[in-house]
Structures are given as structure tokens and as C-alpha cells.
């Protein structure tokens, strides 16, 4: 009767059980379960009378679109999915095997935290998992799907993994819950406000995306896994497509406005150049002034990084730098080529940015592009201004960019005409008349092309083949 009520509660929340989640994520009948009969070893507080086969987590391996992945799915119906020592050992086992075999590990997280009855044993279990997260970083893809509460020590493992996704309205990530926050700081806050999907996808940047419900999340995860390699020693999967490799993109002639101050949507540029207009955007609600995500060019996975003129004119700031740097380093670790679409007016000025470390964080993005050894293709669509070094940071030729293109609309300059003239002719009443001369000289890509400093090729008619050949 109790079990029936628990299941009913889960379904009323629109959630699936731990086993149903695995069945939906994996190809039919492909999941092989590990340690399905092991039980916890705690004998305190009457726990010896409360044992369930497999304890509070289901582990094993299965196929996702025909490719191997190791999976653990925490079962909230057993002790609230709390982590016991045996629970931790089961997770560590699949992580060890995933590293040994060389394939991704996926965690379906739904846990109330450490099992209090086991004391320090459960805390040690968390540390064992954290260690493996670190050892696996850059070796195999690690994905966390938060599908319920994830509190206390349980939050650190998802934060270390490569990508963290959440389910709207039913998943939460926080170190201390609303009750503790109230008792310590006297703040009144709900679970959703403190650590819900909206908070972590748009404010904190902890989560990379959120989905409507369990079914939507798991189907999107299946799609997402198709972009990733099994490990850092394997190439990304190649998918056949009917999108011609030499397809011209005439719409690009009109997407980018002639006026350098007019906004446009860089996502439209992305959709037009990638295979079949399919783009899996990462962190779409966080630092919207920078776009990152995965797509395919001629069937091969690529990472896309692009300034978004529609949001804050595509300016770089602290959050955009952090977002971009982490994505670039993931692509570099797993041999995924990077295409960078540049339309950047500079770094965002202001005391808030300076005081919170825009220099430190901007340097992270620069460092990530400079150290990356994967193929790097850069396309300057319009502005490439050097306010704060933004032009250099965005995968410029000087940071070992392999192939750098410029469109006819490109403007490669230290700064805009008005700002430059105000400095060059400071104090002169007729300074504004020099703006047009400055625009003619630097408001187009030809001076940079003559010097061969900023890009390799000036493109009049852009084709997808430019990216494929590069």
C-alpha cells in the first residue's frame, strides 16, 4: 500500500520512476543492470529491518542510438534516493568501468542527499564519486540530468560534470534548503527560487539547459548524446545528411544589416550554415550575448561560438567569458572543431564588471581559444573591435586560428569611428568631419586584408563549403 502511494505521488508530479527513466533513455532491451540485489549494510536506527534489493540507485550500461553509455539512476522511492556507502560504491563502479572502456557516463540525479543514518560513511561515498568526476574530466563525457531534489553534498558531482541539465518545476539544486536559509539569514525563499531550473539556467549558470518534463528531458538527452564522442580518443559520430555541402546561403546577404549599430539575430546565421538547420544550444538563457552549442557541418560535429548582437550588442562580459571558455575547453578536450562567428563591439565597461573580475574572466576565454589545438575557423560577420581586446579574444588569427574569414560587412578596427576621432582629434571643433574618413579606412575589411594580419580570405558569396574545406 505504501509503495503504491509513493508511485502515485511520483506520477502526480509528472515524474517517471528511476527504472522508467533508464528504459526511455536507452535503446529497447539494451540496458544491462549491475548489482541489482546488493543491500545497504547499516544496522543503526532500525535500518537492518529496512532493506531493498539494489538499495536506492540503479546502475549499469546500455545503448543510446546504438552507442554504449554507462548510467546510474537514483531511486527516490527508496530512502528518498539518499546516498549510502553501497549506493556510492555502485556509482563508482560504473564510473570506473566507463573510464576503462572509454565511453560516457550519465547520472540521472534524484536524491535527498547523504543518508544520515550512515554518518561519515555516506560522506566518504561522496568524496569517492567526486574524485572519479575529476579523474574522468576531459577523458570521457560526463552528463548530469537533475530530475528531482539534489541537495547538500549531492550538488557537487553535477557541478564537476561536463553538462548539467534540469527538469522544470520538479528538479532543485542547492547546498542548503529554504528552511536552513530561513534560520541562518532570515530570508524567505521557495525551493524554486533558491535552486530551481529557472534560477540555475538564467541566473547562476550552474545548469546548461532545462526541459519541460522527464519525457522531454530524456528524449532531448538522447539527441544530445549523438553530438558527442565516446571519449577523448574517439571521433564524434558522423551522421549522413541530405544538406548539400556546396549549398550557397543567399539569406546571409540580408541577415547582417549594413548599419553597424543595427541589431540582428546571430542564431539565424547559425541555422543557415549548419546541416538541416539543427543546432543544440547550450546555456541559451544565461549570458545571452554569447551563443554556444553543437551542430553538424557535412555530418560532422562542430562547436559553435558566436556573439549575439540581439542581446547587449554582442558585447563580452564576465558571464559570457565564463560560458565561452568552458565550452571551448570541452570542445578542445574531445576533438570537436570550433567555428566562431564574430560581431563584437568590445568588453562591457563599468565598475561592476571591473570589480567582479572581467579581466580575470576575460583572460579565461582568451586562454581557452589560444590553447585549443582542434581546428578553429573564424568568420567575422561585422564588427571586430578591440575595445578591451575583444577582437583578439574571439579566436583571432593571432591566437592560432587556423582559417579566418571576413564578410564584406566586416569592420576590423581598434574602436568605432566616433570613439577613435574623439581621441585623435580631441579638442578640435571640427573633429566630427573626420569620422567619414575613418569609416572609409577602417569600416571595411580591405585594409586588414592587404596586411594579411586579421584573416585569410575575404568572402563575397558565402557557401557551406568554405567551412567544410577549412
- The closest of 405, 435, 443 to 258, measured between CA atoms, is 443
**Helix, strand, coil in percent for the chain, rounding step 5:** 45, 20, 35
Contact 203, 210 (CB under 8 A): no
Q: Is 303 a catalytic residue?
A: no
Q: Spot the catalytic one: 113, 152, 195, 314.
A: 152
Distance CA 337, CA 373 (A): 9
- The closest of 265, 306, 314 to 282, measured between CA atoms, is 306
Burial 63-82 (b: 16+ CB within 10 A, else e): ebeebebbbbbbbbbbbbbb
CA distances from 63 to 48, 69, 297 (A): 36, 6, 25
Contact 291, 281 (CB under 8 A): yes
SS3 state of residue 314? helix
Q: Spot the catalytic one: 136, 390, 406, 470.
A: 390
Q: Spot the catalytic one: 81, 112, 153, 416.
A: 153
- The closest of 385, 376, 304 to 343, measured between CA atoms, is 385
CA distances from 246 to 95, 239, 243, 339, 462 (A): 42, 17, 9, 17, 10
Q: Is 60 a catalytic residue?
A: no
Which residues have C-beta within 8 Å of that of residue 49, sequence separation ≥ 6? none
Contact 28, 63 (CB under 8 A): no
Q: Where are the alpha helices (DSSP H) in 203-340?
A: 214-225, 252-255, 266-273, 318-333
Q: Is 240 a catalytic residue?
A: no
Q: Spot the catalytic one: 205, 226, 389, 419.
A: 389
Q: Is 388 a catalytic residue?
A: no
Q: Give the helix/strand (H/E) hosting 111.
A: strand 105-111
The DSSP line for 154-182 is GGHHHHHSSEEEEETTT-EEESS-HHHHH
- The closest of 99, 31, 102 to 64, measured between CA atoms, is 31
Distance CA 264, CA 289 (A): 12
Crossing angle (nearest 10°) for helices 318-333 and 358-371: 20
* Catalytic center residues: 152-153, 389-390
Amino acid at each position: 500500500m505504501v509503495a503504491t502511494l509513493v508511485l502515485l505521488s511520483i506520477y502526480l508530479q509528472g515524474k517517471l520512476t528511476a527504472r522508467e527513466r533508464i528504459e526511455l533513455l536507452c535503446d529497447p532491451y539494451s540496458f544491462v543492470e549491475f548489482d541489482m540485489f546488493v543491500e545497504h549494510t547499516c544496522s543503526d536506527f532500525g535500518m537492518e529491518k529496512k532493506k531493498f534489493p539494489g538499495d536506492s540507485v540503479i546502475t549499469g550500461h546500455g545503448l543510446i542510438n546504438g552507442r554504449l553509455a554507462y548510467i546510474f539512476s537514483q531511486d527516490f522511492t527508496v530512502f528518498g534516493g539518499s546516498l549510502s556507502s553501497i549506493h556510492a560504491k555502485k556509482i563508482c563502479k560504473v564510473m570506473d568501468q566507463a573510464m576503462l572502456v572509454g565511453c560516457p557516463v550519465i547520472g540521472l540525479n534524484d536524491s535527498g542527499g547523504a543518508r544520515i543514518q550512515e554518518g561519515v560513511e555516506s560522506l566518504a561515498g561522496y568524496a569517492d564519486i567526486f574524485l572519479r568526476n575529476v579523474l574522468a574530466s576531459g577523458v570521457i563525457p560526463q552528463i548530469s540530468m537533475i530530475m528531482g531534489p539534489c541537495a547538500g553534498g549531492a550538488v557537487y558531482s553535477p557541478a564537476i560534470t561536463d553538462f548539467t541539465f534540469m527538469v522544470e518545476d520538479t528538479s532543485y539544486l542547492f547546498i542548503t534548503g529554504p528552511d536552513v536559509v530561513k534560520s541562518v539569514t532570515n530570508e524567505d525563499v521557495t525551493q524554486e527560487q533558491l535552486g530551481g531550473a529557472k534560477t540555475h539556467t538564467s541566473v547562476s549558470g550552474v545548469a546548461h539547459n532545462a526541459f519541460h518534463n522527464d519525457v522531454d528531458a530524456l528524449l532531448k538527452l538522447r539527441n544530445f548524446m549523438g553530438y558527442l564522442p565516446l571519449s577523448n580518443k574517439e571521433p564524434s559520430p558522423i551522421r549522413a545528411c541530405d544538406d548539400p555541402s556546396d549549398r550557397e546561403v543567399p539569406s546571409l546577404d540580408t541577415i547582417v544589416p549594413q548599419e553597424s549599430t543595427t541589431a540582428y539575430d546571430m542564431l539565424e546565421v547559425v541555422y543557415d550554415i549548419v546541416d538541416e538547420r539543427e543546432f543544440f544550444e547550450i546555456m541559451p538563457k544565461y549570458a545571452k550575448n554569447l551563443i554556444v552549442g553543437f551542430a553538424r557541418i557535412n555530418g560532422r560535429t562542430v562547436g559553435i561560438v558566436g556573439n549575439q548582437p540581439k542581446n547587449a550588442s554582442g558585447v563580452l562580459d564576465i558571464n559570457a567569458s565564463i560560458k565561452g571558455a568552458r565550452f571551448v575547453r570541452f570542445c578542445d578536450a574531445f576533438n570537436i572543431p570550433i567555428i566562431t562567428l564574430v560581431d563584437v563591439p568590445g568588453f562591457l565597461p563599468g565598475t561592476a564588471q571591473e570589480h567582479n573580475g572581467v579581466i580575470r574572466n576575460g583572460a579565461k576565454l582568451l586562454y581557452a581559444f589560444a590553447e585549443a589545438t582542434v581546428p578553429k575557423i573564424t568568420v567575422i560577420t561585422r564588427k571586430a573591435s578591440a575595445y578591451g581586446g575583444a577582437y583578439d579574444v574571439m579566436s583571432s588569427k593571432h591566437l592560432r586560428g587556423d582559417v579566418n574569414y571576413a564578410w564584406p560587412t566586416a569592420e576590423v578596427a581598434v574602436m568605432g569611428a566616433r570613439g577613435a576621432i574623439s581621441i585623435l582629434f580631441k579638442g578640435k571643433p571640427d573633429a566630427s568631419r573626420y569620422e567619414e574618413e575613418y569609416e572609409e579606412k577602417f569600416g571595411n575589411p580591405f585594409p586588414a586584408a592587404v596586411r594579411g594580419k586579421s584573416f585569410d580570405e575575404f568572402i563575397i558569396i558565402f557557401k557551406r563549403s568554405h567551412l567544410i574545406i577549412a
